[in-house]
Each structure stands twice: as structure tokens, then as C-alpha cells.
């Protein structure tokens, strides 16, 4: 049992207790414990009841519940609540803006216990008539339902990669060659099909082998003699396992990785890339995948395109101006600038985060904890800012010339576009990441105006997660991307590629435009713990998909270059 699994069960228990109007005090004990334990770095599964009670927000009763979860894998209290709750009511908690009280009202007053009935009630105008709801809430519910329906059966990049790797490790025990392909190899930010190519000369036997694997559930109507389709137990996303002989697998890996749009690019002789790939005569069995793919592009008279960029014809336009070796890589990153610590809502100290950065071979670590308005995230007031900066000074004194912690802040962009803090406090930071966290429901005009004012602020160094989106969970607010990027170019503001697989914001489609305007992009993990720092791998993948070059990657600057850049900006503000 991981900490997150334990916290999820406690949180769900508290939510269902509130839904069923159980004792308010007991309900709060579960909710408080879940809130506090979400921030702990202690391994909850290894702690005794006495040790658990020493943690903030954990009494003896909840400590006992945690031990029950660890030892049995479930919680009796939760099992009883789940037995009294229709599964469709649980689905309603996924609707943005529907808290426990509203879900309870919909269930008890309208008898709605599933998303289908919720949609019908909204379309019929019944929700708007309920006290405390109204037409505006009804419209938001319908919009959220439509968004959820569009995301059904999809997983984020990180989960897709995990599923693909689990499948690969299992399948390779039974087949000579297995290759991760399709959307996962192409590093798609949202994946609806996890595809792996399986090498076999005997499809009938291969199908029997797949059917006998414990965690695979076949969808027989959707499968065919040469393609197994189904799901991995516990996940809703489609799994597709095409079967190919050895002499075809390399060319099929190329074909299955690229989108149809990319494969329709016309090459020599007026033939599309797909046709050239299908008729490739290269001896594939002995060749490496890269050799075969390079040979296909060469035969078509087209430049070689890396797997991440095989989305459409954009890659060929990009290749007319750039070389593949210009694309950013993990090795190019020299530091990281958007991270959180225990000073706000992070799980590790500044010292621990910095130490791990050094282990990763990075030469600088930027702390950007939440600002004072973000009270929900324990945002720093001016006094705590000074205390944190003193701590950073002490830590920096212990480093040599090859590593440094930069003093940053993730300043909330307030409703009118101004930044949190007065100018005197803002001036104490090495850099400022300006981000929107509250009042996310905005028109295009209002959101754009709000961001433009923040960009014009001389203290803004980096524009954080520009649309505020959460992939598969929340649409971003609409913005005029061109106007925002143009303003960043005018005011020399860097744009963040938020590398968290939950965000990946700014969207990769806008990276090339930003580069053309001379705007640098910073691959920021938005890390709240040590593992979160590794999310920069996802940011690199998305950066490469959008054609991001090493030269235009802000945190590819060396320590000296970054120090000089930030110093010049500070001097310019003083002037």
C-alpha cells in the first residue's frame, strides 16, 4: 500500500460519510487526516499505531483504520458505505463544481444516481429548478459531462507509458520481440490506445498465448486473427496487440507510430510516405529499427522525422528550418525552476529537493513555492518569504561554484492581472513564475487580458501553465495564444512548458510559434516531491513534439548563463 492509496481511501471514506450525513465529528477526522497525510513523506505502511498518532491530524481511531488498510487491503467502514452508494453517484463526484452537498441533493431530491440521468435532467431543465443550483450551475454541469464523455477511455501520457511497460515486460517472456508503438511511442499527451507490436510466425498460437495471460481481458468482437484487442485488468484504455512476422515488424513499427496525416506526406514520384513504407524492400530482419525508418524517409526523398514529431505535416515544415540534433534532450537540461517545498504544499524540504537535483546532475535548483493568496496551498506571506530566503542563503553558502539554489516564487496572477505581493517583496526574488490558480471560469477576452497584464509586469520572469488545464479532468480557460506569445516576446517573458503529465501546458502546438517570435520556453516540472522532478522527461517529450530546440530552452542555460540572465533582469528593473 502506497501513501497515495491510503490517503485516497481515507478521503473517499470522509466524502461518503458526508454524503450519507454521518456523524460530523467522525467525518471531519477522516477528512482532516487525509488532508494532512497527503503531505507527509513518512512511509505510512511501515508505521505502528503509536507512530501514526504522532503525525499531524491523526488520532488513535484513524491510526487504527490506516493499519487496517495496510494489513487487509481495504477498510470495513468504506466497504459498508460503498455498499449503500450506487456506483453512478460516485461517478458524479468527477463532475467539476459538484461537491458532496450538491451530489446528495441531486441524488435525494431528483433521484439521480448515474451520469446518464444527470445529463437528461440538465437537458430537461430540472437541475436549474433546484434551490441553490440555477441555470448557470446546470449549464456548467452539462459542459463538464460533455468534457468527461470526450475523455472516456483515455489515459495520460504517464499512465499510458506505465501500462505499455507492464505489458512489454510480460509479453517479452513469451515472444521473441515486442515493441511499444503507436501513441505511446509518439509521446501523445492523451492516449486512447496502448499499442504493442508482437513478433510471431504463428498467429494462432500467439492468440492462444495472449488469451491465457492472467491480466489481459480480450474483446473478441473487436479482435481479428492478426490483432488482439482488449484491456489490461484495472484500466479502461484499449490495448491493441498486432501480430507480425519478423520481416515486417520494423516497417510496421514505423507505420503504426505515425498518424495518418503524417503518412500522407507525398515524397518522390508523387507517392505518399505510407505507400513507400509498405513497399520497402530493405532486408529488415538484420536491420535496426532506426536504419529501416531512416531508409524509408530517404527513399521518399524526405527528411528523417523523430518518432515524437510524427503527428502531421508540421514536422516537415520544421525540418526545412532545423536539424534533428537541435531538438532538446534530457541531457541538455542544466537546472529546474518551478518547484515546491514544505514551505508551501510540497512534500520535501528545499535542502532535500536541491540535493536530489545534484544527484540528477543538474547545476541549479529554483524554488517557486506558492504566494500568499494561495492559502489553500500554505502560501508564503512576506515574513515567511524572508525566512525561506535566509535558509536558501545558508544552503548556498555550503555549495561550491558548481551548484546554486535560486530564490523564486510562484506568484498568483490575481483577478485584475496584478501579481501577489508588493514591489518591495517581488524585488527580493531572483525570478517570478506568474500563474493563475483561482477564478478559472473566464471568457477568452477576460483570460487574455488578465494574462497580458501579468506579462507586462516587470517582475514576471516566466508565465506558468498558461491555460490552467488539467488533462482528462479540466479544460483550460480560453486564451488568445498569439496575443499572449507576442506579449511575452515584447516583454522578454519566458513561457513555461509545465512538465507535469497532468498539465503539459503550454500545448505543444504553440511551441514553434513561440520560438519564431524569439520566446524561450522553460521545461518546468512543477515538482512537489523528489519523484516529481523526473516529470521533466515528459516535458522534454512534449517539447520535442513541438520542435523545441536546445537553444530556445530556458533551463538549458548553464549555471553561469542563468545567473547572468537573472542578474541582468534584476538590474533592468532597478533602473
Tell whether the model's pLDDT for residue 336 goes beyond 70: yes
What is the CATH number assigned to the segment(s) 330-369+400-574? 3.20.20.140
What is the CATH number assigned to the segment(s) 155-319? 3.30.460.10
Q: 476 Cβ partners below 8 Å, 6+ apart?
A: 466, 467, 468, 469, 505
Say if residues 549 and 322 touch (Cβ distance below 8 Å). Answer: yes
Looking at residue 42, what is its pLDDT? 87
- H or E segment to which residue 313 belongs: none
Question: Rounded to the nearest 10 degrees, how much is the dihedral formed by the CA atoms of 247, 249, 255, 258?
Answer: -150
pLDDT tier at 281, thresholds 50, 70, 90: low
What pTM was computed for the model?
Answer: 0.88
Q: How much is the mean pLDDT over the chain? A: 94
**Residue 306 — φ and ψ, nearest 5°?**
-65, 155
Beta strands at 227-232 and 238-244: parallel, antiparallel or unpaired: antiparallel
pLDDT tier at 284, thresholds 50, 70, 90: low
Handedness of CA 309, 310, 312, 316 (dihedral sign): positive
What are the sequence ranges of the domains in the chain? 3-151, 155-319, 330-369+400-574
| 3 state DSSP class of 4 | helix
Give residue-wise pLDDT tens across range 2-47.
888 899 999 999 999 999 999 999 999 999 999 889 888 889 999 9
pLDDT tier at 283, thresholds 50, 70, 90: low
Looking at residue 501, what is its pLDDT? 97
**Residue 309 — φ and ψ, nearest 5°?**
-95, 5
Give residue-wise pLDDT tens across range 261-270.
999 999 888 8
Looking at residue 534, what is its pLDDT? 98
pLDDT tier at 285, thresholds 50, 70, 90: low
Cell numbers linked to 222:
473487436
Tell whether the model's pLDDT for residue 286 goes beyond 70: no
Say if residues 466 and 482 touch (Cβ distance below 8 Å). Answer: no
Say if residues 302 and 267 touch (Cβ distance below 8 Å). Answer: yes
Write down the H helix ranges in 429-518. Answer: 444-456, 481-491, 511-516
What is the CATH number assigned to the segment(s) 3-151? 1.10.150.110
Say if residues 96 and 474 touch (Cβ distance below 8 Å). Answer: yes
Give residue-wise pLDDT tens across range 454-473.
999 999 999 999 999 999 98
Q: What percent of the chain has pLDDT over 70?
A: 98
User: Of 327, 342, 326, 257, which Cα lies nearest the Cα of 296?
Assistant: 257
The rounded distance, in Å, linking the Cα atoms of 270 and 268 is: 5
The rounded distance, in Å, linking the Cα atoms of 396 and 402 is: 11
DSSP string covering 89-155: HHHHTTSTT--HHHHHHHHHHH---SHHHHHHHHHTTTGGGSTTTHHHHHHHHHHHHHHHHHHTT-E
Give residue-wise pLDDT tens across range 412-454.
999 999 999 999 999 999 999 999 999 998 999 999 999 999 9
Amino acid at each position: 500500500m502506497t501513501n497515495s492509496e491510503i490517503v485516497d481511501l481515507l478521503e473517499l471514506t470522509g466524502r461518503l460519510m458526508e454524503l450519507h450525513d454521518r456523524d460530523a465529528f467522525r467525518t471531519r477526522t477522516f477528512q482532516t487526516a487525509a488532508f494532512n497525510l497527503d503531505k507527509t513523506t513518512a512511509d505510512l505502511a511501515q508505521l505502528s499505531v503509536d507512530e501514526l498518532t504522532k503525525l499531524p491530524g491523526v488520532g488513535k481511531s484513524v491510526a487504527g483504520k490506516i493499519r487496517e488498510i495496510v494489513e487487509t487491503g481495504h477498510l470495513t467502514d468504506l466497504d459498508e458505505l460503498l455498499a449503500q452508494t450506487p456506483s453512478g453517484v460516485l461517478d458524479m463526484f468527477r463532475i467539476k463544481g459538484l461537491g458532496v452537498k450538491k451530489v446528495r441533493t441531486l441524488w435525494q431530491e431528483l433521484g439521480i444516481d448515474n451520469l446518464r440521468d444527470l445529463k437528461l435532467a440538465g437537458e430537461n431543465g430540472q437541475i436549474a429548478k433546484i434551490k441553490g443550483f440555477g441555470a448557470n450551475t446546470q449549464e456548467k454541469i452539462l459542459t463538464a459531462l460533455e468534457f468527461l464523455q470526450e475523455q472516456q477511455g483515455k489515459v495520460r501520457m504517464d499512465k499510458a507509458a506505465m501500462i505499455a511497460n507492464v505489458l512489454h515486460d510480460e509479453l517479452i517472456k513469451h515472444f521473441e520481440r515486442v515493441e511499444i508503438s503507436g501513441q505511446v511511442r509518439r509521446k501523445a499527451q492523451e492516449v486512447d490506445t496502448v499499442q504493442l507490436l508482437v513478433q510471431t510466425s504463428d498467429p494462432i498460437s500467439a492468440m492462444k498465448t495472449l488469451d491465457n495471460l492472467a491480466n489481459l481481458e480480450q474483446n473478441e468482437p473487436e479482435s481479428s486473427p492478426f490483432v488482439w484487442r482488449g484491456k489490461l485488468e484495472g484500466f479502461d484504455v484499449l490495448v491493441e496487440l498486432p501480430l507480425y512476422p519478423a520481416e515486417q515488424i520494423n516497417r510496421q513499427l514505423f507505420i503504426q507510430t505515425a498518424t495518418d496525416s503524417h503518412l500522407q506526406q507525398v515524397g518522390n514520384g508523387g507517392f505518399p510516405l505510407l505507400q513507400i513504407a509498405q513497399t520497402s524492400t530493405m532486408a529488415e530482419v538484420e536491420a535496426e529499427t532506426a536504419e529501416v525508418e531512416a531508409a524509408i524517409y530517404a527513399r521518399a526523398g524526405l527528411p528523417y522525422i523523430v518518432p515524437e514529431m510524427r503527428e502531421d505535416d508540421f514536422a516537415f515544415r520544421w525540418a526545412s528550418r532545423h536539424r534533428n540534433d537541435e531538438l532538446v534532450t534530457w541531457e541538455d537540461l542544466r537546472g529546474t525552476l518551478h518547484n515546491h517545498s514544505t514551505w508551501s504544499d510540497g512534500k520535501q524540504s528545499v535542502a532535500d529537493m536541491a540535493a536530489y537535483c545534484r544527484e540528477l546532475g543538474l547545476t541549479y535548483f529554483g524554488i517557486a513555492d506558492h504566494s500568499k493568496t494561495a492559502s489553500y496551498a500554505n502560501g508564503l506571506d512576506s515574513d515567511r518569504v524572508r525566512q525561506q530566503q535566509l535558509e536558501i542563503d545558508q544552503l548556498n553558502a555550503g555549495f561550491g561554484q558548481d551548484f546554486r539554489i535560486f530564490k523564486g516564487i510562484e506568484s498568483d496572477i490575481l483577478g485584475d492581472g496584478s501579481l501577489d505581493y508588493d514591489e518591495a517583496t517581488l524585488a527580493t526574488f531572483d525570478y517570478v513564475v506568474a500563474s493563475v490558480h483561482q477564478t478559472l471560469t473566464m471568457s477568452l477576452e477576460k483570460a487574455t487580458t488578465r494574462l497580458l497584464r501579468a506579462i507586462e509586469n516587470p517582475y514576471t520572469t516566466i508565465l506558468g501553465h498558461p491555460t490552467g488545464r488539467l488533462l482528462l479532468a479540466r479544460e483550460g480557460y480560453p486564451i488568445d495564444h498569439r496575443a499572449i506569445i507576442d506579449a511575452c516576446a515584447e516583454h522578454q517573458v519566458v513561457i513555461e512548458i509545465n512538465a507535469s503529465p497532468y498539465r503539459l501546458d503550454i500545448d505543444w502546438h504553440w511551441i514553434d510559434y513561440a520560438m519564431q517570435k524569439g520566446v524561450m520556453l522553460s521545461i518546468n516540472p512543477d515538482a512537489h516531491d523528489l519523484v516529481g522532478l523526473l516529470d521533466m522527461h515528459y516535458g522534454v517529450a512534449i517539447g520535442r513534439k513541438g520542435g523545441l530546440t536546445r537553444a530556445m530552452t530556458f533551463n538549458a542555460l548553464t549555471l553561469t548563463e542563468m545567473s547572468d540572465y537573472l542578474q541582468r533582469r534584476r538590474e533592468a528593473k532597478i533602473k
